[in-house]
Amino acid sequence: MNDQTPTIVIVPGLRDHVADHWQTLLAARLPKVRTVPPLEKDKLSLTARVEALEETLAGVDGPVILVAHSGGVLIVTHWAKSARRSIQGALLATPPDFDTPLPAGYPTQEALRDSGWFPVPRAPLPFPSIVAASTNDPLGSIERVQALARDWASRFFNIGEVGHLNPASGFGDWPQADELIAALCR
C-alpha cells in the first residue's frame, strides 16, 4: 500500500543551510522530508540550483509539498516553467525582489543576471501555492511580494514584521510553517 502523505521538499535560499534556520528546524522534526543539498561549486548558478531541485524530486515517490525560502522561492518558480512532475503545493516564504537592488552583502543585480536569474518568472504556477511575506523584509517590500503572489496565482499570507524570517532577523523556529503546510496538504 502506497503512503499518500506528502513528502516535504525543502528548497533553501542562496545561503543554503543554516543550523538555526526555520527550514532546518522544520526538516529535523518532519517524518517525510528531503532537502535540496547545497551546491559545491557555481553556488549562484540558477541552472545548477534548478538541476539540484530536479534531482532531489527525482528521488521522491508520491505527492510532494515544496517549502521554499527567499531565493529558494525563485528557484521553484524557474523550475516550474519546465516541471516534469506534478506538485501538490508549495509554501513560498519571503521571496526576494530581485528587480530591486538587494542590500549590501547580497548578490548584485549584475551577478544575478550573469547567473541566469532574470527575468523573474511572472506566470501562474501550475500548482497551489501560498506566498508568506513580511511587512518589513529588507529583501522585498510587501507590495512587490504581493504583486509576485498575484502573478503566480498564489494565496497571499501576511506574516507581520518578521524581517527576512531568518536568524539574522531574530527567527529560528517558525511554527506557522506547519499550519501553512497543513493547509496545502488538505
pLDDT category at 4 given cuts 50, 70, 90 is confident
Higher-confidence position of 2 and 48: 48
Q: What is the pLDDT of residue 15?
A: 82
Write down the residue that cell numbers 518589513 correspond to.
136
Q: What is the pLDDT of residue 3?
A: 66
Mean pLDDT for all residues in the chain: 95
Does the structure show a pLDDT above 80 at 80? Answer: yes
pLDDT tens-digit map of 101-135: 999 999 999 999 999 999 999 999 999 999 999 99
Helices (DSSP H) in the chain: which residue ranges? 22-29, 46-58, 71-80, 109-114, 142-151, 176-185
- Find, among 175, 170, 120, 127, the residue nearest to 145 by Cα: 120
- Domain spanning 7-185: CATH 3.40.50.300: no
Does the structure show a pLDDT above 70 at 2? Answer: no
pLDDT tens-digit map of 48-77: 999 999 999 999 999 999 999 999 999 999
Write down the residue that cell numbers 503572489 correspond to.
149
pLDDT category at 1 given cuts 50, 70, 90 is very low
* Full-model pTM: 0.96
Specify the 3-state DSSP secondary structure of 11. Answer: strand
Please name the residues in contact with 154: beta carbons below 8 A apart, sequence gap of 6 or more: 92, 125, 129, 130, 131, 148
